[in-house]
Amino acid sequence: MSTPRTLRMGEAVPLAEIPRLDTAGFRARVTDVAWRLRLVALFGRPSYALTASEGRPSSSSVAAEGQSAVEPGAPVTLTAIFADDRNGQMQAFSTDVGASYPALTPDCPQANGFEREIAEQWGVRPEGHPWLKPLRYHRSAVPGRDAWGRAPGTAIEPSVTDFFRVEGEAVHEVAVGPVHAGVIEPGHFRFQCFGETVLHLEIALGYQHRGVEQALRHGDARRVMPYMETLAGDTTIGHATAYAQALESAAGARVSARAHALRAVALELERLANHTGDLGALAGDVAFLPTMSYCGRIRGDFLNMTALICGNRFGRGLVRPGGVRWDLDPARKDELLSRLAAAEADTKSAVELMFDSPSVLARFEETGTVSFDECESLGLVGPAARACGAERDVRQDFPGGMYRFQQIPVGTWSTGDVFGRAFVRWLEIQRSIAFIREVLQTLPEGDVLAPCGPLAPDSLVVSLVEGWRGEVAHVLITGAQGQREFYKIVDPSFHNWMGLAIAMRDQAISDFPICNKSFNLSYCGHDL
């Protein structure tokens, strides 16, 4: 067995250096590392991408649903990327598979979602997968190959599939969604209940599938940035930064320190707005009205600070490969600092009011608990993982940009319940505010945007950013001419949806809303 190629965040690795194992060797390697490393991404792609220019299908043969035609029966290359959070290193290895391969999920539960995705996208069946269902309800990119043997003409409807069922006299099933009462995204939740107690929750998504990854591979290059900024609308800066980082790494471009600082400020403002909004929404879900209404307003204040930098409340149009498009003049910097101080005081009083209320704590504590072991085996990320005691934060483990110069402490809690997830958000709010203040007070001088040169050919780049919801992972693979050959996006929600399902086991069904809100996962970030 060849030694694993370790790679660092934002390093352009020649594809030839990534070990290609046989299927058994690949499986053995995954089983070997799964218990101690975290699966960042596991994806399939057509094998021709590796074999230089030969045998590549012409771009004119485009199949249905806007996906490129892959030759029927073409082998698919699976690539696994594992992260060693403690050492700040990653491992990548790959294998070629045909129409099926032995599933990894039984030995590596983190692979569950990824294997379902591979089966759906490439028609490759992971044999022995415990619950192989479609993930986003679309056709495979390989004509005539379908992991479930569905005929080419049949309609594929979201959530029309098998659901796990508990049988019994007093067991009842509650179906919620895809249309919800609040202004939220569509998703289907199927509860198996015994009275008020939830025995099992199954989540079926896919309603928001837009085909972004396919469009990125084959679409108009000018539309790439708008796609990145709307992968998950609330993680605009997170995804845009991950993309910019990937491109800059592949191009070997140098980004000015000032641009890095402004990106970090925008990323932390995004975190502040969303965390504050989440704490308010959590208060709202337990009907604690004061914090709900204050935090709703303060979230707007943070969004307006982002707008002060770039004119858009969600930071659209700010981050570009090579830097940022808007500089911050001294007058607006001072304005930003004074607004930050005001928002800090408001947030403190609103949030402490909530955490000082026994009636709120009685709802939060010991609700929706995820154990540390479950967190590890599912590979949870972000505040959801930190609330279980996992010290895992891209800003510390795989620092990029400004975070290499200015550290931010990782806030963790040990209970893994709704309180833990809420409290970690509050810790992060305080630290983000301190971080922004520090960065703004020592803002480096210089230009903010420089052109990003041509990309290195036949390379793989893994770009990680700690978005407010957790690790945003982008994987870029370039072709022989340095073109964008393959692009893979893993939103933090992709890891964490299963965490929500596990958190609901043996909980009261009336506690689902606060459990759901404490994770606050993205539907469109998952469905892409």
Partner 1 sequence: MASIEHIGAACAQTGLLVVLGPLVTGFIQKIKARLQCRQGASVWQPYQDLAKLLRKGTVQSDTASPFFQVVPVLVLAATVTAAAMLPVLRSSVGSSALPFGDAILLVALLALARFLLAIGALDAGGAFGGMGASREMTVGLLVEPALMLVVFSVAIVGGTTELGDLATRRHTLAAMAWQAPDLLAFFAMLVLIPAETGRIPVDNPDTHLELTMLHEGMLLEHSGPGLACIALATHTKQIVILSLTVALFCPYGMAQDITPEALGLALAAFVAKLFVFVVFLGVIESSYAKMRFFRVPQFLALGLLCAFLSLALRIL
> At closest approach, how far in Å is the CB of 508 from partner 1?
6
N residues, the chain: 528
Asked if 332 contacts 262 with a C-beta cutoff of 8 angstroms, the reply is: no
- Does position 307 interact with partner 1 (CB under 8 A)? The reply is no
> At closest approach, how far in Å is the CB of 34 from partner 1?
35
Strand partners, 198: 193
> At closest approach, how far in Å is the CB of 527 from partner 1?
23
Site string for partner 1, 178-197 (x = CB under 8 A): ---xx-------------x-
Residue ranges in 143-172 that form contacts with partner 1 under rule CB under 8 A: 172
Site string for partner 1, 195-234 (x = CB under 8 A): -x--------------------------------------
Distances (CA, A) of 410 to 87, 147, 299, 396, 483: 16, 41, 22, 7, 37
Residue among 71 and 346 whose Cβ is closer to partner 1: 346
- Part of the chain binding partner 1 (CB under 8 A), chosen from 10-18, 380-388, 474-482, 503-511: 503-511
Within 13 Å, how many C-alpha atoms sit on residue 272's CB side? 33
Residue among 62 and 362 whose Cβ is closer to partner 1: 362
Site string for partner 1, 267-296 (x = CB under 8 A): ----------------x-xxxxxx-xxx--
Distance CA 333, CA 261 (A): 12
Residue among 227 and 294 whose Cβ is closer to partner 1: 294
Instruction: Report how many residues bind partner 1 under the rule CB under 8 A.
Output: 30
Chain-centre distance of CA 405, in angstroms? 24
- Does position 510 interact with partner 1 (CB under 8 A)? The reply is yes
Closest CA to 327 of 459, 449, 497, 480: 449
Residue among 355 and 372 whose Cβ is closer to partner 1: 355
Residue among 24 and 287 whose Cβ is closer to partner 1: 287
Strands 76-84 and 38-46: antiparallel
Residues 188-197 as b/e (b if ≥16 CB within 10 A, e otherwise) read bbbbbbeeee
Residue among 482 and 513 whose Cβ is closer to partner 1: 513
Distance CA 312, CA 225 (A): 15
Helix (H, G, I), strand (E, B) or coil at 32: helix
Residue ranges in 116-135 that form contacts with partner 1 under rule CB under 8 A: none
Asked if 70 contacts 46 with a C-beta cutoff of 8 angstroms, the reply is: yes
- Does position 509 interact with partner 1 (CB under 8 A)? The reply is yes
Distance CA 151, CA 501 (A): 31
Residue among 139 and 425 whose Cβ is closer to partner 1: 425
Residue ranges in 17-56 that form contacts with partner 1 under rule CB under 8 A: none
Tokens at 492, concatenated: 């933090």
Residue among 359 and 481 whose Cβ is closer to partner 1: 359
Tokens at 306, concatenated: 């982002």
| Contact pick of 137, 207, 512, 519 for partner 1 (by CB under 8 A) | 512
Residue ranges in 340-369 that form contacts with partner 1 under rule CB under 8 A: 357, 359-360, 362-363, 367
> At closest approach, how far in Å is the CB of 363 from partner 1?
6
Tokens at 259, concatenated: 């641009």
Classify the C-alpha dihedral 97-102-108-114 as positive or negative.
Answer: positive
Asked if 344 contacts 336 with a C-beta cutoff of 8 angstroms, the reply is: no
Residue among 193 and 388 whose Cβ is closer to partner 1: 193
> At closest approach, how far in Å is the CB of 509 from partner 1?
5
Residue ranges in 316-335 that form contacts with partner 1 under rule CB under 8 A: none
Strand partners, 77: 45, 96
Which residue type sits at 249? S
Residue among 294 and 486 whose Cβ is closer to partner 1: 294
> At closest approach, how far in Å is the CB of 411 from partner 1?
24
Instruction: Kindly compute the dihedral angle of the four CA atoms of residues 334, 338, 340, 342, in this order, to the nearest 10 degrees.
Output: -170
Closest CA to 395 of 285, 498, 470: 470
- Does position 447 interact with partner 1 (CB under 8 A)? The reply is no
> At closest approach, how far in Å is the CB of 373 from partner 1?
26
| Contact pick of 234, 458, 491, 511 for partner 1 (by CB under 8 A) | 511
> At closest approach, how far in Å is the CB of 429 from partner 1?
20
Backbone dihedral angles phi then psi of residue 138, each to the nearest 5 degrees: -140, 175
> At closest approach, how far in Å is the CB of 64 from partner 1?
36
Phi and psi based region of residue 462 (left: phi greater than 0; alpha: psi -120 to 50; beta: remaining): beta
In the complex, the residues that contact partner 1 under the rule CB under 8 A are: 172-176, 181-182, 196, 283, 285-290, 292-294, 357, 359-360, 362-363, 367, 508-513
